[in-house]
Structure 1
């Protein structure tokens, strides 16, 4: 397996946001006088796309920019941590001259908040608001390849969700299942399954 760059999913791959993100949505829906929703309702809506799309779906109506801010107010100040081994792995990749690229289905604004809260820095952040079609479409990986100066076939996408692995396949990229993530489905095909973030390092052809 030879790739030029690694692209990382964020939620469930770099950071453990399995509680703080859906809880922020639940509070935001309540603040907007929407229907009663729970964490499972939020998780079931993740496939819909960006934070704004998910929030409007949960509230049940179109929302204006000021109303979308309700979610970001709830997200600000949350405590979230990187998964064990993430920091060391990203540092090792940077030592090898590989930038940290993140492709997440959430909005770029939310991604910056969450990565900062976890103490992580990314060189490239591609949010769902930067692509026309969300995962499992290949749009994000094609944009990542363009920004990294390579082709999708020379990228590997590390993600816990089946949508991540399907997006990699659709783009012709390598796929790596993040087995530590909360959305990991062992039945979803992947080019490689990583028990921990550090297991990516032996795959690097540097």
Structure 2
């Protein structure tokens, strides 16, 4: 695979498996409001979308005030349970530190809140490994809007042709396409190789080590 000057990563199901914590937090909120019979797999399929979008898909609710209330409840649940139930994938630390040692700039673009990602990474990586995190609170329009990518390009002073965006979902693929940058899919999540391959891509990776 081509070597890039800058690598931008999604977080959930790309760098880390936080599905256990995510399912727990969604289920606590949903069942509190009598939304039952929703499978773990259905919840996992929403990873990468905003909390409001996910709650709407899972519950069928469209009322904005109700969805915002659910979002706030989820954040409180995540403050309790997310960090303890999230693990970086086995190769993540090695891949990121190796790319950094080679002189690459590294960024994360996620719908997850920046402070949460910083808390999670602080337990696993040297502080200077990741140059920039653009979280859900940093943008007006979430992925697949390219806004977060454009923020990263400006702050990292990087041209589009020098960037690879790595993600696990079709939302990530759509984000890269909208931003006009190269995309590589990784098969850590619930999205299939065929689903990712339907979008422009430079590769579909079994895991992140293939970046090296």
The two structures share one fold, judged by TM-score above 0.5: yes
Q: Does the CA-based 8 Å contact 2:45-2:190 persist in structure 1?
A: no
What's the TM-score once normalised by structure 2's chain length? 0.77
Match of 2:206 in 1: 195
What's the TM-score once normalised by structure 1's chain length? 0.79
Match of 2:173 in 1: 165
Q: Does the CA-based 8 Å contact 2:20-2:86 persist in structure 1?
A: no
What's the Cα RMSD here? 2.8
Alignment counterpart, residue 124 of structure 1, candidates 127, 132, 147: 132
Q: CA deviation at 1:166?
A: 1.7
Q: Distance in 1 between matches of 2:93 and 2:73?
A: 34
Q: Distance in 2 between matches of 1:29 and 1:135?
A: 24
The runs of 5 or more residues in structure 2 that have no matched partner are none
Match of 1:63 in 2: 69
Q: Does the CA-based 8 Å contact 1:101-1:125 persist in structure 2?
A: yes
Q: Does the CA-based 8 Å contact 2:22-2:82 persist in structure 1?
A: no
User: How many residues matched?
Assistant: 197
Is residue 29 of structure 2 the alignment partner of residue 18 of structure 1?
no
Q: Distance in 1 between matches of 2:121 and 2:82?
A: 11
Counterparts of 1:1-206 in structure 2, within 5 Å, are: 1=2, 3-30=4-31, 33=33, 35-36=35-36, 37-46=38-47, 48-49=49-50, 51=51, 54=54, 61=66, 62-63=68-69, 67=73, 69-116=75-122, 119-120=124-125, 121=127, 122-179=130-187, 181-187=188-194, 188-189=196-197, 190-201=201-212
Q: Distance in 2 between matches of 1:58 and 1:71?
A: 17
Q: Distance in 1 between matches of 2:14 and 2:147?
A: 20
The runs of 5 or more residues in structure 1 that have no matched partner are 202-206
3-state SS of 1:19 partner: helix
3-state SS of 1:20 partner: helix
Q: Distance in 2 between matches of 1:72 and 1:33?
A: 17
Shift of the 133–91 alpha-carbon distance from structure 1 to 2, 3 Å rule, reads same
